[in-house]
Amino acid sequence: MLTDHILTLITFVPTAGAIVVAFLPRKGRVVQAFTLLVTLVPFVRWLHLPARFVYAHHGFQVEENQPWITSPAIRYHLGVDGLSLWLVLLATFLAPVGVLVSWRSVQNRTKEFYFLFLLQQTAMIGVFTALDLFLYYGFWELSLVPMAILIALFGPDRGRQAALKFFLYTFIPSALFLVAILYLYVKAGTFDFVTLQSRLASGSLGITPQALFWLSLAFLVAFAVKVPVFPLHGWLADVVQEAPTAMAMVVAGKLGLYSIFRFNLGLFPEQARAIAPLMIVLAVVGLLYGALVALAQTDMKRLVAYSILGNLSFCTLGIFCFALAGLNGAVYQTLNEGLTGGALLVLVSILYERYGTYDMSLYGGLASRLPWLATLFVITSLALIGLPLFNGFVSEFLVLSGSFGSHPRWVGVAALGVILSASYMLWMVQRIFYGKESSLVANRPATDLDFREHITLWPMAILMLAMGILSPYWIKAIEPAMTPLSGAVPAVETPVSPIASAAQVPGGVQ
Amino acid sequence: MNDFARIAPEVIFTLGGIIIMLADAMMPKASSRKSLGWLAVLATLAALAASMWQAQLPAGTAYYGVVRTDAFSVFFHVLIAGIVLATLLIVLDAVTPETEGLGELFALIQFGAVGMILMSSAVELLLVFIALEISSISTYIMAGYRRKSAKSAESALKYFLLGSFATSFFLYGIALLFGATGSTRIDEIAQAIARAVAGGHVSPLLYPGLAMIIVGLGFKVSAAPFHVWTPDVYEGAPSPVVALMSTAPKAAAFAVLLRIAYGALPALHAHWVPILWWLAVISMTVGNLGALRQRNVKRMLAYSSIAHAGYLLVAFTALSQEGIAAASFYAVSYAAMNVGVFAIISHTGGYDDHLTLIDDYRGLAYASPVLAGSMAFFLVSLIGIPFTGGFFGKFYVFSAALHSGMVWLTIIGLINSGIAAFYYLRVVAAIYSEPSGAAPIIGVAKPSFPLLLAVFLTAATTLILGIVPGNVLSAARDAAKTYSTSSPAMPSVPPAITASR
């Protein structure tokens, strides 16, 4: 019975939890423990969904659809497909991890922290599940506010500036995005994604190609800033540096990439293909730029930030080549980045908690003192580099092989980025864990991972291996969702070719 | 008797004001006047109830067709009475029993309310003018209420001089309309103009008349370029008074502008739409760019109110019932969030305004998490983040404008709202920063019950408007429907939309 409203439940349990948090006493660890419990509820509820998921079904499942506001026609429409299924699971998985990471690093103003943390959780899950553009936009914008306030509140040095930068970078493109949504609404009379998709595909809305191009651009820019795609990444390094670890883990990547899949590819396939050459170039440049800048960093958090930029550019590359393998790989890479990048940030924050600095040059020879930490750090690094057996390998292989057919030269350059990313990661591991013991490490006794840190990190590490070895389990849900998005542009006038009719299947409305 | 029912809220407010004045004169000099404030609250509640009761009267006019009660007037009556109620609660929190002239302040608020609600129900332009003056004169006096403060005196004088200048524009506009049409009644003016347009002999007096009315009302709603008084007046006036005058008289003036534009002059829409288009663009831009440079919270909010007047004017250009409904809805959502912000500013900044700069608010979150959280919520709503009234208002206004093909206006407006985020966020960031040393913010008193009530009411309204706006939306739409019959010249749905559907 509960499954009828499982999406509502998963989306809004964190909000309900946030309201309770506001009234909890500040004493002891009550707030942390309660938040951990609240974040585990959606995760556990969600876990059984992959088992019930109908993999053969194109389109959305476990939908909830009822009118919310009659005029303007806004519906409360939630649903998931193979794409959002895993992204929601990732978000719900990273939530308890985020709580555990913040357990000790957030000591002051815990109520504010966990209140906003839980609101952020609702906003993110809402973005993945909302199928009404108004509702979606609501969650999309909502996801900015707790994040910005948390960065301002907990940023160690320049939190306020970083928060403002982040907010303005994302909010101003979102304003134009809202214009585009309103324009679609005026033309179609609905915000419903499924209806809009089928009506746009049939070309019955009477929107000129030029207007469509601008609409898709407004969508794309808003999403690309959030990913971030290469020239729009200005906020990323500052935010990753200033944000609390639990927030830095989720700030980049999945929200923007999901939206590109869902809306740019789903609503504007033709326009997405028109702009693809530009996006591929930006992706490759971002890949190399991220790797090269990461090589030059001494601050670990900034290094991670630029490695995130590089890894996310892989997703962009996979998306805009429109090959099925590439799209699958891009989704997989989105999941990987959330997992591996998150784990890396956790590890870096554990180092910081022990030694009070992010400066790599002060570390050295840590492996013999903290063997468990070193082990997990190496595992995560190898996953990030894309060593076979690990998740990163699957996605990089899929992206590169999928896009090689259409853009061999650019993919060749992108492969260079893989090598570079291996070099900066290994270099970081080498500097921190091996070599001579630095004076910092020698003078400051530190304990190896404690129980809390073990249960934070091991599930992530195991998942990295599992996703590397058992990738078909994930891909079998992703592929049906990606199939209609791949391939040539569906013909607009004559929807008789098999590809064109396939493109309309997820719409469900013929 | 039927006539009387149509002015019941006005009568109740008037009686409330008179009783408070008399009681104030008869009470011993030393005794606290705060009880009079609760009397005013009672009178306001009664007026609110009377306004809601008016909803069940059939729409119609009274007293020889000078007053009209319909869904539109009821909508604005309820809004204004609600604002007055919240303002009274804020005043009760802000003042001490020793505050000078407290009894008169409560009476003035009641009389001001009479003027404002009468503005929304009067359909005879001379009565509109009288109502406008009643409301304006009360606010002039209230703006200068801190007699010992030079800024307050300057504020009142500036407001008075420029305000009287503007009302004379408005009066001159009425005179010209009368010259052109031979009537000062809104429905008769509409008919006369419709006849003239049909006959092809439109009196040239109409155009300067229209322009003068827009200037006069543009001043009252603080639309740029008639906005110069706003920052100074808001800075000098006591914060509870600003809560009132930044929302209620503006809502009333917008109601008048709606009545005149859509009730009296729909046939001239080809002339007033471009004017209001430009006013909207200039107001949004001037307001937001001006606010960016402010360090004083009240001046910043003054510029923000100019910008919000611009957003509201966007709805006028939609030229449809949706536009009217959007304007009415926006007035409600702006009132809720802005009164809420000023409730907190009034409490933390104090009646004497000892905290004025944005930086003074650093660390409010440490001093009072409840006030800080509510203030952040109101500011987030002013930015226009979803699930708040501010967002839905903006969404509704701009979707109405886009419906009428105002693509550029929508783009300009929403880019503006992006810029606006910056200065609201500065305040949010300040609230949640650590206070510097012995900042005065630490000594903020515990909020009293009336203030908490005011904050709760405004916050709940803002949230409801953002999440379940259905009831207010349908009320706004009913209010807008009053124009479909009285103005045959106006298309209820713009032709561009009918074609595309």
Q: Which chain A residues have a beta carbon less than 8 Å from that of B422?
A: 164, 168
Q: Whole-angstrom Cα distance, residue B138 to residue B106?
A: 11
CB-based contact (8 Å) between A164 and chain B? yes
How does residue A208 score in pLDDT terms, banded at 50, 70 and 90? confident
The pLDDT of residue A502 is 41
3-state SS class at B124? strand
Instruction: Report whether B489 contacts B483 (CB < 8 A).
Output: no
Contact A189 B410 (CB under 8 A): no
Q: What is the pLDDT of residue A415?
A: 85
pLDDT computed for residue B134 by the predictor: 95
3-class SS at A98? helix
pLDDT computed for residue A66 by the predictor: 85
Could you tell me the CA-to-CA distances from B238 to A74, B135, B218, B357 in Å, in that order?
A: 41, 17, 23, 15
Widest CA span in chain B: 75
A211–B contact, CB cutoff 8 A: no
Contact A168 B417 (CB under 8 A): no
Q: Nearest residue of A to residue B421 by CA position? A: A168
Average pLDDT over residues B358-384: 89
Q: Which of B368, B387, B464 to mutate to test the interface with A (most CBs of A within 10 A)?
A: B387
Average pLDDT over residues B90-117: 90
Q: What would the mean pLDDT of A134-161 be, rounded to a whole number?
A: 87
Per DSSP, what are the bridge partners of residue A77? A65
How high is the pLDDT of residue B490? 46
Alpha-carbon distances, residue A92 vs A10, A99, A338, B3 (angstroms): 9, 11, 12, 63
pLDDT for A3: 55
The answer to whether B131 touches B122, Cβ cutoff 8 Å, is: yes
Task: List the Cα angle B431/B383/B119 in 5-degree steps.
Answer: 110
pLDDT of residue B219: 93
Chain B within 8 Å of A148 (Cβ-Cβ)? Answer: yes
Q: Residues A342-377: pLDDT tens digits? A: 999 999 998 888 888 888 888 888 888 888 989 999
- Per-residue pLDDT of B6-22, as tens digits, reads 999 999 999 999 999 99
Burial group, residue B227, by CB count within 10 angstroms (0-12, 13-18, 19+): buried
Beta strands A74-80 and A61-69, pairing class: antiparallel
CA distance A231 to A47: 37
DSSP A248-267: HHHHSSHHHHHHIIIIIIHH
Is the pLDDT higher at B200 or at B288? B288
Q: Which helix (H) or strand (E) is A412 found in, with range?
A: helix A408-433
- Pair B240, B348: CB distance under 8 Å: no
**Bond into A72 cis (ω within 30):** yes
- Mean pLDDT is lowest, of A415-429, A480-494, B269-283, B423-437, for A480-494
Q: Which residues contact A364 (CB under 8 A, 6 or more apart)?
A: A431, A432, A434, A435, A436, A437, A438, A441
Contact A168 B426 (CB under 8 A): no
* A171–B501 CB contact, under 8 Å: no
The pTM of the full predicted model, rounded to 2 decimals, is 0.89
C-alpha to C-alpha distance for A127 and A337, rounded to whole angstroms? 18
Q: Convert the pLDDT of each residue in B466-480 to its tens digit.
A: 999 989 999 999 898
Among the partner-chain residues B387, B399, B428, the one whose CB lies closest to the CB of A142 is: B387
Nearest to B411 among A171, A179, A206 (CB): A179
Dihedral sign for Cα A288, A289, A295, A300, please.
negative
Asked if the model's pLDDT at residue B344 lies above 80, the reply is yes
- Kindly report, residue by residue over B430-462, the tens digit of the pLDDT: 888 777 766 667 677 888 899 999 999 999 999
More confident residue, B219 or B32: B219
Q: Are B456 and B90 in contact (CB under 8 A)?
A: no
Alpha carbons A249 and A233: distance in angstroms, whole number: 16
**From B473, which residue of chain A is nearest by alpha-carbon distance?**
A71
Render pLDDT for B163-196 as a digit per residue (tens, 0 to 9): 999 999 999 999 999 999 999 999 899 999 989 8
Which of A70, A165, A176, A178 should be substituted to probe chain B, the one whose Cβ sees the most B Cβ atoms within 10 Å? A178
Burial of A34 (0-12, 13-18, 19+ CB in 10 A): middle
Give the pLDDT mean for A246-266: 89
Per the CB < 8 A criterion, the answer to whether B271 and B210 are in contact is yes
A318, pLDDT greater than 50: yes
Q: State how far residue B221 is from chain A, nearest Cα, in angstroms.
A: 25
Best probe of the A interface among B358, B382, B399, B464, by most A CBs < 10 A, is B399
Give residue B438's pLDDT. 64
Smallest CA–CA separation between A151 and chain B, in Å? Answer: 10
CB contacts of A112 in chain B (<8 Å) are 365, 369, 432
Q: Does the distance separating the beta carbons of B497 and A186 come in below 8 Å?
A: yes
Q: Do A174 and B418 touch (CB under 8 A)?
A: yes
Query: In sequence order, what are the residues at sequence separation of 6 or more whose Cβ sits closer than 8 angstroms to the Cβ of residue A328?
Result: A398, A402, A475, A478, A479, A482
- Average pLDDT rounded to a whole number, residues A181-197: 89
Number of H helices, E strands in chain B: 22, 2
The dihedral of CA A220, A225, A228, A233: what is its sign?
positive
Q: What does pLDDT average to over chain B? A: 89
Closest-CA distance of chain A to residue B333, Å: 17
A206 touches chain B (CB under 8 A): yes
* Residue B1 predicted with pLDDT over 70: no
The complex scores an ipTM of 0.86
Note the pLDDT of residue A500: 38
By Cβ distance, the residue of B387, B399, B477 closest to A186 is B399
The full length of chain B comes to 501
Q: What is the pLDDT of residue A490?
A: 47
pLDDT of res. B222: 92
Between CA A60 and CA B81 the distance in angstroms is 48
Share of chain B above pLDDT 90, in %: 60
Q: Are B421 and A178 inside 8 Å of each other by CB?
A: no
Chain-chain contact of B501 with A189 (C-beta, under 8 angstroms): yes
Rounded CA gap, A262 and A196, in Å? 12
**What three-state secondary structure class fits A232?**
helix
- Residue B378 CB burial class (10 angstroms; 0-12, 13-18, ≥19): buried
Q: How far is CA A392 from its chain centroid?
A: 15
pLDDT of residue A498: 40
- CA-based nearest distance B500→chain A, Å: 7
**What end-to-end distance do the CA atoms of chain B give, in Å?**
48
pLDDT band for position A29 (50/70/90)?
confident
pLDDT at B488 over 80: no
Whether B487 shows a pLDDT value over 50: the answer reads: no
Choose between B130 and A199: higher pLDDT.
B130
Is A344 touching B (CB cutoff 8 A)? no
Of the candidates A506, A391, A508, which has an alpha carbon nearest to the alpha carbon of residue A460?
A391
Element (H, E) at A63: strand A61-69
With beta carbons less than 8 A apart as the criterion, state whether A86 and A477 touch: yes
Q: Mean pLDDT lowest for which of A127-141, A429-443, B387-401? A: A429-443
Contact flag A142-B469 (C-beta cutoff 8 Å): no
Nearest to B398 among A168, A171, A182 (CB): A182
Q: Do A171 and B421 touch (CB under 8 A)?
A: yes
pLDDT of A507 = 38
* Nearest by CB: A168 against B402, B411, B422: B422
Chain B residue numbers touching A70 (CB-CB < 8 A):
470
Q: Say whether pLDDT at B309 is over 90.
A: yes
Residue A75: helix, strand or coil by DSSP? strand
Per-residue pLDDT band at B44 (split at 50, 70, 90)? very high
**Under an 8 A CB cutoff, do A152 and B428 touch?**
yes
